[in-house]
């Protein structure tokens, strides 16, 4: 029986030799990391790899312009390899688990090896023949994992927030604002402590939610500015060892030209390497919004509860059958999804908080778990907010008659009488109305506390929702 031996190449590092699949663009350090950490099956997100490749390309050009990498032909091969990574053509070559050794050295070397081997192939050389194009000496020139990894973290987070999260939040705010306008004259009873309060417009409820999203977005815009300060050029500990003068400035200029992110150098490269506060700032801003999303989702679930034995003031779009046993049942499925995603974001914030305080001395080595949780949180939250806006909020309708019935039947209308007949007398009327199932109006008229004209003016439900506007 004929046997076939898989085609392999031999690569060496300071620990010895390993067989690498001949078809692989990754090398020995990537393979070691893959074998060492069979943890989750999760891989580093494509946007992080893309951001890292932008950084590698910027470093390549900076080295060339500064004269420390003069070989223009080799620079061209490495640049083309970086471009292919940026375009996602080599995505399957990034095989290191997200839970890996600290600082992200495994991911950095995965990038270096893939870029080097693709550049070797482009030059007509053999993969693994690092004498002409080396992962360490050429692709990683003037760099360390310790300054490139946190820089790539910042770039990828900025790209994710600006390209995905901000547009999704804008969609959600617009969806709420649209309903605010649609329901601006839809009368309902407000509730506090889950008890009847005073009349309001349904549009005001949706307007509040639009404002909540808008204000959280503004807070996030402030927080993400922290990510624009880079420690690139700090090398291993922040001193800039083995980094040519002017390198940092050129890298940042190139990145800004490529990505339009308003990046700048940190005033203290040691701080940029030690502190993960910018990432904590951003995830905290996202978490704060996630908390309100859970609250808003709960509000909408309450308002749509029923349809016969709940509030049933609004109708949610039906997106799927709600039960495997109860025919015809429809659940608030999108809102349930949004709450679960928000809870996952809160969990990510907890992980990042723990990692932020876990660094020692000149480096916080917990960066890989921060990178994963931050980008994962941004991705799922962006997707959830987009679905929430389009598949739920945009399709909500109002049950006007039911809301008007609740508003007219509420004993809390007595609040408007208090300035005229006093708090205690108003409380007695409210108590009697609840006990007798009669309206406030009928009891006041029966007791001859006011004329019908006076009562009509005071108990004008629409006027109650805009008292100061009417006064003006």
Q: Mind giving me the DSSP string for 401-469? A: HHHHHHHHH-GGGGGGGHHHH-HHHHHHHHHHHHHHT--HHHHHHHTTSS-HHHHHHHT-HHHHHSHHH
Mean pLDDT of all residues in 444-454? 85
Tokens 């939250």, located at residue: 381
Q: Band of the pLDDT at 6, cuts 50, 70, 90?
A: low
Q: Band of the pLDDT at 215, cuts 50, 70, 90?
A: very high
| Set 323, 436, 442, 457: catalytic member | 323
Give CA–CA dist 212/294, Å, rounded.
Answer: 12
Q: Residue 295: how many CA atoms within 13 Å on its side-chain side?
A: 11
Give CA–CA dist 444/422, Å, rounded.
Answer: 13
Render the burial of 421-450: b for 16+ CB within 10 Å, e for the rest: beeebbeebbebbeeeeebbbebbeeeebb
The pLDDT of residue 2 is above 60: no
Per residue, the 3-state secondary structure of 245-307, as one string, reads: CCHHHHHHHHHHHHHCCCCEECCCHHHHHHCCHHHHHHHHHHHHHHHHHHHHHHHHHHHCCCC
Mean pLDDT of all residues in 431-460? 84
Helix pair angle (46-65, 105-123), 10° resolution = 60
Residue 95 buriedness (CB in 10 A; 0-12 / 13-18 / 19+): middle
The beta-strand segments (E) located in 101-186 are none
Percent with pLDDT over 90 in the chain: 82
Residue 94 pLDDT: 98
Give CA–CA dist 64/67, Å, rounded.
Answer: 5
> In the structure encoding, which two tokens stand for residue 377, read together?
């949180």
Question: Is 323 among the residues known to form the active site?
Answer: yes
The pLDDT of residue 5 is above 60: no
Residue 321 pLDDT: 84
> If DSSP codes are grouped into helix, strand and coil, which group holds residue 118?
helix
Residue 411 pLDDT: 81
Say if pTM beats, i.e. exceeds, 0.85: yes
Mean pLDDT of all residues in 459-463? 82
The pLDDT of residue 120 is above 90: yes
> Average pLDDT of the chain?
94
CB contact set of 77 (below 8 Å; sequence gap of 6+) = 119, 120, 122, 123, 133
> In the structure encoding, which two tokens stand for residue 398, read together?
């109002």
pLDDT digits (tens, 9 = 90+) for 290-349: 999 999 999 999 999 999 999 999 999 998 887 777 767 889 999 999 999 999 999 999
The pLDDT of residue 470 is above 50: no
pLDDT digits (tens, 9 = 90+) for 46-63: 999 999 999 999 999 999
> If DSSP codes are grouped into helix, strand and coil, which group holds residue 12?
strand
> In the structure encoding, which two tokens stand for residue 31, read together?
């393979």
Residue 469 pLDDT: 62
The pLDDT of residue 1 is above 60: no
Q: Band of the pLDDT at 471, cuts 50, 70, 90?
A: very low
Residue 323 pLDDT: 72
Contact indicator for 343, 129 with CB cutoff of 8 Å: no
Mean pLDDT of all residues in 183-205? 95
Q: How far, CA to CA in Å, does 200 sit from each of 203, 313, 411, 429?
A: 8, 13, 15, 22
pLDDT digits (tens, 9 = 90+) for 228-240: 999 999 999 999 9
């Amino acid at each position: 029986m004929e046997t076939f031996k898989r085609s392999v190449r031999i690569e060496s590092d300071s620990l010895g030799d390993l067989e690498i699949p001949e078809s692989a663009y990754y090398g020995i350090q990537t393979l070691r990391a893959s074998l060492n950490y069979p943890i989750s099956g999760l891989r580093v997100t494509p946007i992080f790899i893309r951001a890292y490749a932008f950084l590698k390309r910027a470093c390549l050009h900076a080295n060339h312009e500064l004269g420390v990498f003069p070989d223009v032909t080799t620079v061209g091969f490495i640049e083309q390899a970086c471009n292919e990574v940026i375009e996602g053509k080599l995505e399957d070559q990034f095989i290191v688990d997200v839970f890996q050794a600290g600082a992200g050295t495994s991911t950095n070397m995965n990038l270096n090896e893939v870029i080097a081997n693709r550049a070797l192939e482009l030059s007509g050389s053999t993969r693994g023949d690092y004498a002409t194009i080396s992962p360490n000496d050429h692709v990683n020139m003037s760099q360390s994992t310790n300054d490139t990894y946190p820089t790539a973290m910042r770039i990828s987070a900025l790209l994710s927030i600006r390209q995905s999260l901000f547009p999704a939040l804008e969609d959600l705010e617009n969806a709420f604002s649209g309903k605010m306008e649609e329901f601006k004259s839809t009368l309902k009873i407000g509730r506090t402590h889950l008890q009847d309060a005073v009349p309001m417009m349904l549009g005001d409820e949706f307007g509040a939610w639009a404002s909540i999203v808008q204000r959280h977005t503004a807070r996030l815009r402030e927080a993400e500015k922290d990510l624009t300060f880079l420690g690139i050029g700090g090398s291993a500990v922040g001193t800039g060892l083995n980094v040519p003068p002017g390198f940092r400035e050129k890298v940042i200029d190139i990145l800004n030209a490529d990505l339009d992110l308003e990046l700048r150098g940190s005033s203290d490269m040691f701080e940029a390497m030690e502190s993960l506060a910018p990432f904590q700032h951003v995830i905290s801003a996202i978490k704060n919004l996630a908390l309100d999303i859970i609250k808003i989702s709960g509000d909408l679930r309450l308002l749509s509860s029923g349809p016969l034995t709940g509030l049933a003031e609004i109708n949610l779009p039906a997106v799927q059958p709600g039960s495997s046993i109860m025919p015809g049942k429809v659940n608030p499925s999108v809102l349930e999804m949004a709450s679960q995603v928000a809870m996952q974001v809160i969990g990510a914030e907890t992980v990042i908080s723990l990692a932020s305080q876990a660094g020692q001395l000149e480096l916080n080595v917990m960066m890989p778990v921060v990178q994963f949780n931050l980008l994962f949180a941004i991705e799922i939250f962006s997707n959830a907010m987009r679905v929430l806006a389009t598949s739920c909020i945009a399709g909500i309708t109002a049950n006007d008659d039911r809301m008007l019935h609740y508003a007219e039947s509420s004993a809390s209308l007595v609040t408007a009488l208090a300035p005229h007949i006093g708090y205690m007398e108003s409380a007695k009327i409210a108590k009697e109305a609840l006990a007798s199932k009669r309206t406030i109006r009928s009891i006041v008229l029966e007791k001859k506390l006011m004329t019908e004209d006076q009562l009509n003016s005071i108990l004008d439900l629409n006027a109650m929702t805009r008292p100061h506007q009417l006064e003006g």
